[in-house]
Chains A and B, each alone.
Chain A
């Protein structure tokens, strides 16, 4: 029984991944291009600002572009996954006609699709960076991958919660985008926590993504070891969000027909 159910779910998720890939990239080549160039857009605009202010990377010996890159990839994993997952139910409502398709399957499919896409994009960037000789190697590659997993998991949990919140609270969208903006500026894209005043550090401690970014950078760059991050915090936030997300997803199945 359980095995059978698992097999069906595997089938549904696989079909959903293929379908979401089609939806995202199938219609036009623009989808691919944007996926590839979005990190570049961030990096270039941050580079422009920093060079206008005549500032270098906060970590000695690290190329500025790589400094931004190391935060933008986990940020995008969080942002893209949470965005896609939070819209999953609304954009795929038609699929819920099929009894074996549950909201969670579509969400998992989007998680996989967004993660794999960004991961490949990151690899392409690294290849480019090493060609430009601004990048040699990653200090602790396994930890970098784990940090990306953690960012994705946070995005998934936040997306699930948002998806339910949307069903019950119509003004939630505004709240979500305001919240994302706060996270955007406080997730360490253009700073390291060590250079901030202590009070600010205390406040920003509550942003789990900042922990992930500091961890990511410590594992990425040889000459940098952050004293700031405590992995227990982002892991716990991710688990709590996942738990609440799964619980509310189950609850919201009763409300889908009105969504």
Chain B
């Protein structure tokens, strides 16, 4: 369960501030996979960080119940100087997860093999995303927050991630930010569009994608 009550968020920018959310009251649908669309720079990643609690709202309240993942994305989350395994231990500890179980699961799922012993700075962005995916799946969240990284790795890895999330569908759901319409279509039950500092929910995926095309000027990645 996640609910925004009169939430505002802004960033100071040169010569003023940029508003991401303006007094938004919104209840996210429970147990449904949510796709988030919005123009570049509208603040989709910030929205995920607010949901996760990694960032604080400037005004209003965010109510959550359940276990939310950290925002899974290409950047952040890992100390580049430490190895994949050391990073994994840190994350297990802060979530109070069993170190051995998590390590085993990630080894198996991420297919990183010996690279787990190497510093994360030597990883490609795909490898980092695999590590983050494996790690978050090992910890069992109620809601997975995913920022653009759904489509990492080769076809086989994609299939595997998809199956893993599919398997968790009974117990967990996704909130997913993506520019790729195919990914959005594949995963979402409902769509939320972030536009003009407000959130709007669409049950109808086609309508949502049409609307999104209209506000983003028709430039949309992936086959819609």
Contact = CB atoms under 8 A, between A and B. Distances in A.
Interface of A: 8, 11-12, 14-16, 18-19, 22-23, 26-27, 92-101, 253-258
A193 B90 CA distance: 47
Contacts of B77: 94-95, 97-98
Contact of B90 (A19, A256, A257): A19
Interface in B65-84: 68, 70-71, 76-82
A134 to B, nearest CB: 39
Say whether chain A's binding surface is mostly helix, strand, loop, or mixed.
helix
Interface residues of B, number: 27
Contacts of A257: 11, 46, 49, 55
B94 A11 contact: yes
Nearest to B9: A254
A27 B56 contact: no
B93 interface: yes
Which 10 A/B pairs are nearest by Cβ-Cβ distance? A99-B53, A15-B93, A97-B76, A97-B77, A19-B90, A99-B54, A98-B70, A15-B94, A94-B76, A99-B52
B104 interface: no
Q: Is the interface of B mostly helix, strand, loop or mixed?
A: loop
A139 B161 CA distance: 65
A254 B58 CA distance: 7
B86 interface: yes
B154 interface: no
10 contacts: A12-B94, A18-B89, A23-B82, A96-B54, A97-B77, A98-B70, A98-B77, A98-B91, A99-B54, A100-B53
B204 interface: no
A253 B79 contact: no
B167 interface: no
A139 B79 CA distance: 44
B155 to A, nearest CB: 28
A96 B54 CA distance: 7
